[in-house]
Amino acid sequence: MPDLGDKAREDFFSEAQEIIDGLSSDLLKLDEAVRRGESDAELVNDVFRAVHTMKGLSGLFGVAMMSGLSHELEELLDDLRLGRIDLTASVMDVLFRAVELYGRILAAARGDGPEPADEVKELFASLSRVADPSAGGGTGVVAQYELDPGVLGVLTEYEEHRLRVNLQAQNLLYRMRVSFPLATIDTALDELKAKARPLGEIITYLPTGDGGDPDAVELEILLASKQGRQDLVAELAAPNVSIEEVKKRASPQGSDRLSSSGRPAPKDPELGGLPAPGVSLRAEAEALRADLVDGGTGLAGGVGSLRSVSQTVRVDIRRLDHLMNIVGELAIVRNQVERLADRTRATPALREINAEVQRLHRAFDRHLTQMQNGILEVRMVPLGQVFEKLARAVRQISREVDKPVNLVVTGAETEIDKLIVEELSDPLMHMIRNAIDHGIESREGRMAVGKPAVGTIALNAFQQGNQVVIEVEDDGRGIDPKAVREAALRLGFTTAEDASQLGEGEVLAFVFAPGFTTRDEATQLSGRGVGLDVVKTNISRLGGVVAVASDLGIGTKMTITLPITLAIISVLVLEAGGHTFCMPLSSMEEAFFLEPREVRVVEGREVMSQRGQTLPLVRLAHLFGYEENDDFKRGEPMRKYVVIVSVGAKRAGFVVDRLLGQQDIVIKALGRSLHAVRGFAGATELGDQRVGLVLDAGALLDEVVTTADVRYLPEARA
């Protein structure tokens, strides 16, 4: 890739990725239509335009492999658009593979891997196999209608094809004349297209040249529909819209007006050297049509085009990170102002100044909160971005292993921080691969136990307080606890004595151990012992937890619980063993005084009863090797506090010395020496110049809480 400057490179990568994401979404919709035995000409056209754009973009930036691939795809898609080949499952396979290669070529251009040269060559061979140069006829049907030769003369080949297809399907043809103000043509045309789409197919837009108003655009639109004229008038009628049906010609000789190519031919041989009727309009029509299809963005002098450009801005996530860091620094200043106000309140001579400081603090706090929320909203993206990639993966993997699988997605609109979304692809992909390879049975195996031949993987996301929960559930064979227990013994993860004491939940947790597998042989799909340990590691790095539940013969559900954002969080500042820590409020349920008499010791562990439920207690100072205040041990009046923390299904009470208050903080990464230490999500600067360590609630609970804690319940109540 040539050196065009960092800004140009980033713009290219961003725009190319947007095209790839859009293609992925369109191909999934197209694949669903193919499975239903339907076709969607508009979607095919959208895919064609996206590939055409990618060809030009990659050519401009010198990514030759992507440009060449786009050129070959464009040829295939043009054949699809014009009906020369059918849209089959084989063609869809090629298109999905091409989009995957787009992503790999883009990664190579970034320097993140080698170019997939061999794979692209293989795809070219596949393109040749699915291509069929034979084209359909049917041009004569167009000549049966009273269409202006000038209009026919400026139709593109694709528009002629769509016109023939609709007329052969016995659809009615309508001529619409519309007039839109130049300043609002983009929105007005979009509204008209949205109304017309459910009623039929718009074949073309053409300028009439009849208007005398320089501030308006008059268009003639050909619309094919099964609806009667009165129905169309009822749905589309407006002061600036007229609709009339295009009738069939009375004379059969009308078919002679078209040449074999489907375009108007001159009546007199002597006119053969002159342009066909309507050619003078061709350049104007083609230029305007391109602008109208794209929403009017190319209309010279159009106020609407300027407005459209200004409504969307592409922003590098690193700039948002920088802004969020500034907000974090301002939050520290706000906390300092609050402490200053508290100090001046206690001095009678400064009461007047205190009132002014309090007023400024409230205004500062209000505007800072608005700024913080605004930046967070910009960072939020729907999980559907990841789910679409998983849908492609399910389609590909199920074909590789010959297991038909249906993916059911709910909650794709659930939003989460963009930085978290970018890190979710790999963990979720491992889960999907594991579910198909290990969970879903073969077609014959499912039918033998009375299940549908097609397996189901359900992907569900929803917001729960300040957290997002993602569930991956399959209706496969489930996980056999006995097989997991035996594998854990064989691999040395536990002893026979300890294994006999483990509950089912603890046994299933072994599937997240590095190198764990219940199979004696590796498969090409899942490999050997690589996958779910990566899932747990990556999710923990994001401040989340992952849990597994399974019913043998029924299926398995894996649940990921994540914070909505990692950018700025609300924490409770607390002290334990003379050190300052920050506990995210998103993981907290409550905090209260802990009386010594409430603490019981069961099987060597401290627990307490809370609302009829036994809760394990963890002394935070001891957990990190610090000395705890001895007053509490001797039962003296000095009280401690307990902070109830829960992530997913795990809960525990952390005993601390003091609660110092709530703050909004920006988390800073730990240095390399502390990066691998479990239990910390990062560090932050507090308003009093102290540095607080931000606790990773999920990792702490993984360390100190197991499902075996439920065994404390009967004895603790006694």
Each residue's pLDDT tens digit, 68-111: 888 888 888 888 888 778 888 888 889 999 999 999 999 999 88
Q: 309-323, 404-418, 504-518 — which is least confidently predicted?
A: 309-323
User: Tell me, what's the pLDDT at 476?
Assistant: 92
pLDDT value of position 501: 77
The 8 Å CB, 24+ separation contacts for 520-523 are: 523/437
Region 493-498: what's the mean pLDDT? 82
Contact 203, 222 (CB under 8 A): yes
Relative to beta strand 579-584, strand 691-695 is: parallel
pLDDT in the model for residue 706: 59
700 against 686, higher pLDDT: 700
Helix axes 185-196, 303-310, angle to 10 degrees: 80
Report pLDDT digits (tens) over 24-51.
888 988 888 888 877 788 888 889 999 9
Is it the case that residue 459 has pLDDT exceeding 90?
Answer: yes
Mean pLDDT along residues 550-565: 90
Q: What is the mean pLDDT of residues 510-539?
A: 67
Q: Which residue has the tokens 């036994």?
A: 614
First to last CA, the chain: 73
As a whole number of angstroms, the distance between CA 461 and CA 58 comes to 35
Instruction: Tell how far CA 353 is from the center of its chain.
Output: 51
pLDDT tens column, 632-691: 454 555 678 999 998 777 889 999 999 988 888 878 777 666 666 678 888 888 766 678
Higher pLDDT, 621 or 320: 621
How far, in Å, CA of 432 to CA of 426, rounded?
A: 10
In this structure, the number of other CB atoms found within 10 A of the CB of residue 328 comes to 19
Percent of the chain with pLDDT over 90: 14
- Which residue has better confidence, 141 or 644? 644
Please, what sign has the CA dihedral across residues 76, 101, 122, 438?
negative
Highest mean pLDDT among 8-22, 144-158, 664-678: 8-22
**135 has pLDDT over 60:** no
Whole-number pLDDT of residue 180: 82
Stretch (H or E) spanning 585: none
95 near 149, Cβ under 8 Å? no
Question: pLDDT band at residue 256, thresholds of 50, 70 and 90?
Answer: very low
Decide: helix, strand or coil at residue 229: helix
Instruction: Determine the pLDDT at residue 264.
Output: 39
pLDDT at 531 over 70: no
Question: Between the CA of residue 658 and those of 417, 572, 622, 643, 655, what are the distances in Å?
Answer: 32, 11, 15, 10, 9
Least confident of 271-275, 509-513, 615-619, 697-701: 271-275
- List the 545-551 sheet strands across, edge first: 405-410, 455-464, 467-474, 555-563, 545-551
The yes-or-no verdict on residue 280 having pLDDT over 70 is no
- The whole-angstrom separation of Cα 703 and Cα 692 is 21
d(CA 6, CA 60): 15
Residue 718 has pLDDT above 50, yes or no: no
Query: Which pLDDT value is given to residue 540?
Result: 82
Per-residue pLDDT, averaged over 567-583, amounts to: 88
Distance CA 374, CA 524 (A): 46
Tokens of 370: 């608005």
Chain CA centroid to CA 419, Å: 12
Sign of CA dihedral 624, 627, 632, 638: negative
Tokens of 590: 């409550």
Confidence category of residue 631, pLDDT binned at 50, 70, 90: low
The span from the CA of 365 to the CA of 213, in Å, is 53
Whether 17 has a pLDDT exceeding 70, the answer reads yes
359 has a pLDDT exceeding 60:
yes
Helix extents (H) in 570-705: 620-623, 630-633, 672-675, 697-704
pLDDT-based confidence at 132, cuts 50/70/90? low
Mean of pLDDT values over 370-396: 86
Residue 450 pLDDT class (50, 70, 90 cuts): very high
- What's the chain's average pLDDT? 78
Yes or no: say if 546 and 430 are a contact pair by the CB < 8 Å rule: no
pLDDT-derived band at 378 (thresholds 50, 70, 90) equals confident
Sheet holding 579-584, edge to edge: 658-666, 568-576, 579-584, 691-695, 680-685
